Amino acid sequence: MTPPRRVAARAALLAASAAVTLAGCSTAAEADTTLTVFAAASLAQAFEQIADDFEADHPGVDVLLNLAGSSSLAAQIQQGAPADVIASADTATMDRLVTDGLVGVPQVFATNTLQIAVPPGNPADVAALTDLAAPGLRLVVCAPEVPCGAATTAVVGDAGLTLHPVSEEPSVTDVLGKVTSGEADAGLVYVTDVARAGDQVEGVAFPEADGAVNAYPIATVERTGRTADETELTEAFVDAVLSSEGRSTLADLGFAAP
Amino acid sequence: MSTGRTTIAHDPAAAPTGLPRWTYVPAVVGGLFVVLPLLALGTRVPWTGYWTLVTSEPARAALVLSLQTAATSTALCLVLGIPLALVLARGRFPGRDLLRSLVLVPLVLPPVVGGIALLSTFGRRGLLGESIEVLGLQVAFSTTAVVLAQTFVALPFLVVSLEGALRTAGSRYDVVAASLGAGPTTVLRRVTLPLVWPGLVSGTVLAFARALGEFGATLTFAGSLQGVTRTLPLEIYLQRETDPDAAVALSLLLVAIAVVVIAVTHRRAAP
């Protein structure tokens, strides 16, 4: 029983590796240009859609997405990572790259605001921002060091509230995770995170959120040795994000227009 | 029988080993592979102002919490791990091999998965969560959760080291001691454990080091709050966002602690 199965497995493996090799060859032959786009993790779904549309409109172009936290992306570019376009989740990160002369002029293409995320059924009856200060409420927020935490600090400060979170997470995804798992009664995340989580959480909008609007800027990355065609494509991708089609993709996922 | 004395005939250090010369090449590459990144980390350390960076309020809180929780987890590992290793090495019961494999799972599990598994057990909606909440206890977002996460990932290190040592030592001396009238607990305390002492020490060090470095399970299961759940690795990860210098400085501190712990215990454990 074992030997034939092993042979079959080996044959399958060979076939698979041959297919991969062939696919690699054909891609290399057809897609002669690769565009490397660095995008903030919260943009994942939106940029996958925009990249697919862009590839459909530009045959022979392959868009490679590198999705990570904005600070990580900026650090990679500062250390010489080969990127063509960067879209960050906050202006502060982009400003650092502008100061270093590593990117072109940034343009804001979307905005995002905070929303309260609660587990389905809202067990702690959170209806407003002030409810988050209630004693005994298990609240999870972003640490002030990361963009969503900075927005939280601003909104809460403007409202004159003092919160006592049980945890200050290093990323908005971690905050969302604590709410979807039901460990937290409420978390402060972005509108787009609530949209992304589907029916795993409920969103509670609050008017104070407008006090801290998070802007998403996009810019071309300075890179030597780029051909005129490549430069044109790089700019075309930025235009695609700013286009009405790009905007509608972003709007579908909860991002607001700048 | 009582006059019989076993002498250890082979001293591996004195015998000519006949090690093939070529083994030195990959050995040196392997050594460099481990040492070079540590040295590279040293070159990135902002030496001016290092002291200020590592004694800031958040850094001190994280360091104290890390040492406290890692020490508690190690103690918990000893209390639970020594009997577990004994039972796995010497006990006779059906399903022992299966139990051994299961106990070692956290070794190969990505820590985040460990965190999710702990949430499914001790979390609010977890297997034991409701019973724990009835008792008026709250595990999630507490220092207890940090200790549980660390113990979960560190325990297999202790068990695997000690069980290996127990198997190597064999049970001849235990049999002799028992035949001379020693009770099982006396045999364990006076014969079995002293024989496997080096294995127990290295297992304890490994468990402590693993607990000290725990990140993924802690973040997933316990959260991150200064002085409560934010241990040194979590603090490093957070500082990296805004202050890479502080992150590097704290990383070096963590490496230094690990080196000191290993050096001290190895010297103590040496005959």
pLDDT digits (tens, 9 = 90+) for A17-47: 444 444 444 444 445 789 999 999 889 999 9
- For chain A, the structural domain boundaries read 31-111+215-252, 114-211
Looking at the predicted structure, is the pLDDT value of residue A253 above 60?
yes
When CB atoms are compared, the residue of B140, B224, B237 closest to A168 is: B224
Tens of pLDDT along A185-216?
999 999 999 998 989 999 999 999 998 888 99
What does the block give as tokens for A158? 């403007």
Mean pLDDT of B96-123: 90
Write down the mean pLDDT value for chain A: 86
Check pLDDT > 50 for residue B108.
yes
Tell me: ipTM over 0.85.
no
- Residues of B within 8 A of A88 (CB-CB) are none
- CATH of B57-269 given 1.20.1050.10, 1.20.120.1200, 1.10.3720.10, 3.30.200.20: 1.10.3720.10
Report pTM. 0.79
Question: Chain A: which residues have CB within 8 Å of chain B?
Answer: 69, 71, 75, 138, 140, 143, 145-146, 165-170, 174, 177-178, 181-183
Q: Span A114-211: which CATH code?
A: 3.40.190.10
Residues from chain B contacting residue A165 (CB–CB below 8 Å): 225
Nearest chain A Cα distance for residue B75, angstroms: 26
Compute the average pLDDT of residues A132-156.
91
Give one DSSP letter per residue of chain B, joined into a string: --S--------TTTS-----GGGHHHHHHHHHHHHHHHHHHHHH---TTHHHHHTSHHHHHHHHHHHHHHHHHHHHHHHHHHHHHHHHHH---TTHHHHHHHHTHHHHS-HHHHHHHHHHHHSTTSTTHHHHHHTT---TTSHHHHHHHHHHHHHHHHHHHHHHHHHHH-SHHHHHHHHTT--HHHHIIIIIHHHTHHHHHHHHHHHHHHHHH--HHHHHHT---TTTT--HHHHHHHHHHH-HHHHHHHHHHHHHHHHHHHHHHHHHH--
CB contact under 8 A, B224 and A167: yes
Asked whether residue A6 carries a pLDDT value surpassing 60, the answer given is no
**CATH architecture of structural domain A31-111+215-252:** 3-Layer(aba) Sandwich (3.40)
- Residue B225 and residue A167: Cβ atoms within 8 Å? yes
How many Cα neighbours within 13 Å face the side chain of A231?
9
Cβ of B119 and A183 within 8 Å? yes
- Contact at 8 Å (CB) between A172 and A143? no
Check pLDDT > 70 for residue B13: no
The pLDDT score that the predictor gives to residue B126 is: 86
With cut-offs at 50, 70 and 90, classify the pLDDT of residue A155. very high
Mutate to test the interface with B, among A179, A181, A200 (most CBs of B within 10 A): A181
Residue A14 has a pLDDT of: 44
Neighbours of A15 (CB within 10 A): 10
For residue A156, what pLDDT is reported? Answer: 94
Residue of B nearest to A96 (CA): B242
For B243-252, what is the mean pLDDT? 90
- Shortest distance between the Cα of B69 and any Cα of chain A, in A, equals 17
